Structure 1
């Protein structure tokens, strides 16, 4: 199964970069999941949690965000957000 390139960027640093199975993102119009092959989307994020699934069926990693912007294309997801603190599930 194809992997999705996921990049999490803050004004201070690139916090995460690498292949994942799926990411669930807190969009302002509702949560949405992103897999490899997703249609291009640009979405504003609301405060909430990003859920990162490294592999199918795996426990997800929780990453709190205070809002931001998500850019999706068929191969990657880039999230631009403010300074965040990582929290694990």
Structure 2
């Protein structure tokens, strides 16, 4: 799936990912390839990006935001990277 993580200042990440874990306001959740459409608010916590199996995970600590998942495209609008 294609993932973009954007803050008001800059684009933090753009690329392919196999799995992404989010700090939802109601609890942590994970999005995989071909996930159902979704819009969710995010709380303070880590967005963990798994680009390929066996590769190192990338972690971005965010200060809240929203995520939209639609047709294998994931857009994260983060308030800030902390």
Q: One fold, TM greater than 0.5?
A: yes
Partners of 1:36 and 1:76 within 8 A in 2: no
Equivalent of 1:53 in 33, 38, 50: 50
Unaligned runs of at least 5 residues, structure 1: none
- State how far apart, in whole Å, the 2-side matches of 1:60 and 1:15 are: 15
Which residue of structure 1 lines up, in the alignment, with residue 8 of structure 2?
11
Unaligned runs of at least 5 residues, structure 2: none
TM-score (norm 1): 0.84
Equivalent of 2:18 in 6, 21, 34: 21
TM-score (norm 2): 0.91
Equivalent of 1:79 in 65, 76, 80: 76
Please state which structure has a larger fraction of its residues in strand.
2
- State how far apart, in whole Å, the 2-side matches of 1:28 and 1:75 are: 22
Q: Aligned residue pairs: how many? A: 82
Partners of 2:42 and 2:64 within 8 A in 1: yes
RMSD: 1.2
